[in-house]
């Protein structure tokens, strides 16, 4: 039984869409399969009612999908990001779609449209409202959503997808069930960190592999080893690293986090193989690892507002080189 099937079985033990309304936050890190999970649940719900949805589930008149808006050149919202587009945007591989800019937040107008949607009769039984990703709700939108969750009387299932449960307002969490999507995989017992990392993010791996964005990720161990041995000029890596997208910072954070906890792993731990492979080339003190992780988190927060990524990576690599060498 794979991870998706296990989550579906666990979910059905707790919730039955046919019996009542629900407000549910489904949370796990980005690109771990939450959206595919929800899509499977909704298709199954319709299947049990002898209703077949062909193609995208959002084509159903009883499903409203809310995500980051795309604005045309006149400043009008033309559509919202699909799940695949959202992942490409969040990990820094694309910042425009249809040659139009992406909004940075889900707005109050988008949430207000939920009231019109829920006020209409459903074609089948329940209506489904999917908010992907609710971490993008601005303060006004969060307040409007809270009111909608409290006042909706029609048969409706609100599903809020989240990559970070802690950034959701407590008032919203208090009115929702929380389901932690378990993305652990039996395939975690891999021999390279590259495989270990992307096994847990199989969705984004498929997307960025399709666009040739994965090139070079498998060379990171050697690149860091070159910095440690003073064989590489850090500024020569800046251009390369800046083109790997925001997911590359997640990759580095997870890499150094594994190095930090690796010595405490048991020999039969699924992560031990990846740790051993890393430790052969990157052997530094825990204090330096902690300093590097803090540096990477700071860089991750800055990259969303810093237009000049080359300058940001120049600074990152200069400081990183000092910690490694």
State the DSSP code for 137: B
Q: What pLDDT does 126 receive? A: 87
Query: Helices in the chain by DSSP H: which ranges?
Result: 3-14, 34-48, 83-90, 108-119, 139-151, 170-173, 193-199, 202-210, 220-228, 234-242, 247-261, 272-279, 286-303, 309-324
Overall average pLDDT of the 228-253 stretch: 87
Fold equal for 3-67+106-180 and 186-324: no
Please write the tens of the pLDDT for every residue from 268-300.
666 787 888 888 888 888 999 999 999 998 888
Q: What pLDDT does 112 receive? A: 93
Neighbours of 83 (CB within 10 A): 23
Write down the CATH number for the domain with range 3-67+106-180: 3.40.50.300
- Tell me the whole-structure pTM to 2 decimals: 0.78
Burial 86-103 (b: 16+ CB within 10 A, else e): bbbbbbbbbeebeebebb
Please write the tens of the pLDDT for every residue from 112-122.
999 889 888 88
The region of weakest confidence among 13-27, 60-74, 134-148, 208-222 is 208-222
Report which of residues 147 and 301 the model is more confident about: 147
Please write the tens of the pLDDT for every residue from 186-220.
444 556 788 888 777 767 777 766 666 677 788 89
Domain boundaries of the chain, sorted by first residue: 3-67+106-180, 186-324
Is 186-324 assigned to CATH 3.10.620? no
Cross-strand pairs, 179: 26
């Amino acid at each position: 039984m794979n991870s998706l099937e296990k989550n579906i079985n666990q979910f059905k033990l707790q919730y039955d869409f046919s019996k009542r309304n629900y407000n549910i936050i489904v949370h796990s890190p980005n690109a771990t399969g939450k959206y595919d999970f929800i899509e499977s649940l909704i298709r199954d719900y319709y299947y049990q009612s002898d209703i077949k949805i062909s193609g995208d589930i959002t084509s159903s008149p009883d499903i409203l999908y809310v995500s980051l808006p795309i604005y045309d050149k006149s400043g009008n919202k033309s559509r919202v990001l699909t799940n695949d587009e959202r992942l490409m945007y969040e990990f820094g591989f694309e910042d425009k779609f249809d040659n139009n800019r992406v909004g940075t937040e889900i707005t109050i107008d988008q949430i207000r449209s939920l009231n019109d949607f829920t006020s209409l009769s459903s074609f089948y039984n329940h209506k489904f409202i999917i908010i992907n990703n609710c971490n993008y709700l601005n303060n006004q939108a969060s307040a409007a959503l809270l009111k909608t969750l409290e006042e909706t009387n029609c048969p409706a299932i609100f599903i809020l997808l989240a990559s970070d449960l802690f950034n959701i307002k407590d008032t919203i969490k208090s009115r929702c069930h929380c389901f932690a999507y378990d993305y652990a995989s039996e395939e975690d017992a891999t021999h390279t960190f590259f495989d270990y990392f992307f096994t847990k993010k199989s969705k984004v791996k498929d997307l960025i592999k399709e666009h040739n964005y994965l090139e070079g990720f498998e060379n990171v161990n050697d690149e860091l080893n070159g910095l440690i041995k003073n064989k590489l000029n850090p500024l020569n890596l800046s251009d390369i690293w800046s083109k790997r997208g925001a997911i590359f910072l997640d990759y580095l954070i997870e890499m150094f986090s594994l190095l930090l906890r690796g010595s405490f792993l048991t020999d039969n731990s699924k992560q031990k193989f990846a740790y051993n492979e890393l430790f052969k080339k990157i052997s530094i003190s825990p204090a330096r690892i902690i300093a590097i992780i803090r540096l990477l988190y700071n860089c991750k927060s800055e990259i969303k507002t810093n237009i000049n990524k080359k300058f940001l990576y120049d600074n990152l690599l200069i400081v990183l080189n000092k910690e490694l060498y």
